[in-house]
Amino acid sequence: MGVERRRLDARLGRLRGVERRLLDGDPSALAVEIRAVAPPPPDVHSDVTAILERVRAEGDRAVLDLTRRLDAEGAEPPPLRVEMDELAPLEPSLLGALTVARENVSAVARAQVGEGERLVTLPQGQRVTLREAPVRSAAVHVPGGRAPYPSTAVMGITAARVAGVERVVVCTPPRPWDGAVLGAAALCGADEIYRMGGAQAIAALAYGTESVEAVDVIVGPGNAYVTEAKRQVFGRVGIDALAGPSELVVVLTDAHCAPLVALDLAAQAEHGEGSLVVAISPERAALDALGELIEADGSAPCVLVEAPDLALALALADALGPEHLQLVGEKAEAAAVGRVAGCVFVGAASATAFGDYVAGSNHVLPTGGAARFSSALSPRAFRRSVAEVRMGAPAAAALAHSGAAIARAEGFEVHALSMEARIGENPAT
């Protein structure tokens, strides 16, 4: 496919060898085995509980101390809040690239937001108006453990802005390289930026501190501590999802595309240990070609699965429910509709890496098989639905007996009386 072998040799070291599997039974059972290849996340529950409780009790002092120890390697951290006049201009080529990403993500996000309200008039005469409204405040957590992620700032802030959120907050750990993240946050219209990350940032945003006003929704990826913190504060605030390590599953039906697919698998493995990269094919020649290209040194395992036919290859991909799914080869591409994945990339040119940055789709996606029931970050994460009910005396009278019967069946006598009191021309009597 025009990709030189020497370029592949320089990039595929991220893949820690190859595990060959044969799909000869239940795709769901093999999916469980494949997921076991990636190391389980650490047990961080008690550590995160202690961090949340400390930030809730001590506020800024706890956030700054934890930032010093966990993010700044013992150095004294700068003030939590980033003042806008501190921001240095972005390098022109990066500014242009982030602007492209912002515009594409905005265009896709706008298409996901319903406008106006819907009025439903029911047979008994009551009217129910359905409205959507944005939450008032939201925060985007941008991780910074190994590298800057300005693209995550673009994905989260843009979706919140399109949703109509009034106050959009960004937090990211203080790092020498955080200028790109801060610049992206300013470019996309963040109202407040804080130098904090990890579980302590999630706690500050959920509970509030002297410097940080609490928000309604927290979104964005992070390590196991961030994920656990989001899980524990859910209910006090809304969250998008519990994201884990990066995942890519490729269904390949064209051996000529193996060099590109090998590069795509290695690209997702760049996210580090715990990443799951899998290629499934009914064509042994395609898997053999991939196996020859993947070097046996790196941090992420690569699983190559031979399926007896395309239908079972797709069934296994659906059972895995991955964060990213690539369909490469004419036969695989024809089966794009109905797939179970956070985002589906169709065709040899549609590398998952484009979705990470500039394709327009959001790269904050469900992992760990959660694509079976959850979706990519979108404006919906920042909007709430409200139903407004207007009964009128005739509708109340028509519904009271039915409602009261159900209430009494459940043992709620006063519920029944409340509805029955509305029977008659004047429901207040």
- Positions annotated as catalytic residues are 323-324
Q: Tell me whether residue 74 is exposed, middle or buried, using C-beta atoms within 10 angstroms of its C-beta: 0 to 12, 13 to 18, 19 or more.
A: exposed
Question: Residue holding tokens 């203080």?
Answer: 174
Contacts of 283 (CB under 8 A, 6+ apart): 252, 253, 255
State which amino acid sits at residue 39.
Answer: P
Dihedral sign for Cα 309, 312, 318, 320, please: negative
Q: How far is residue 206's CA from residue 203's CA, in Å, rounded to a whole number?
A: 5
Please provide the DSSP assignment of 225-294 as one string: HHHHHHHHHBTTBEES----S-EEEEEE--GGGHHHHHHHHHHHHTT-TT-EEEEEES-HHHHHHHHHH-
Contacts of 130 (CB under 8 A, 6+ apart): 117, 118, 119, 120, 385, 386, 387
Task: For residue 318, give the H/E element and its range.
Answer: helix 310-320
Two structure tokens written together for 216: 């309604």
- C-beta atoms surrounding 53 within 10 Å: 14
Q: Tell me whether residue 156 is exposed, middle or buried, using C-beta atoms within 10 angstroms of its C-beta: 0 to 12, 13 to 18, 19 or more.
A: buried
Q: How far is residue 81's CA from residue 213's CA, in Å, rounded to a whole number?
A: 11
Q: Tell me whether residue 410 is exposed, middle or buried, using C-beta atoms within 10 angstroms of its C-beta: 0 to 12, 13 to 18, 19 or more.
A: exposed
Report the SS3 class of residue 195: strand
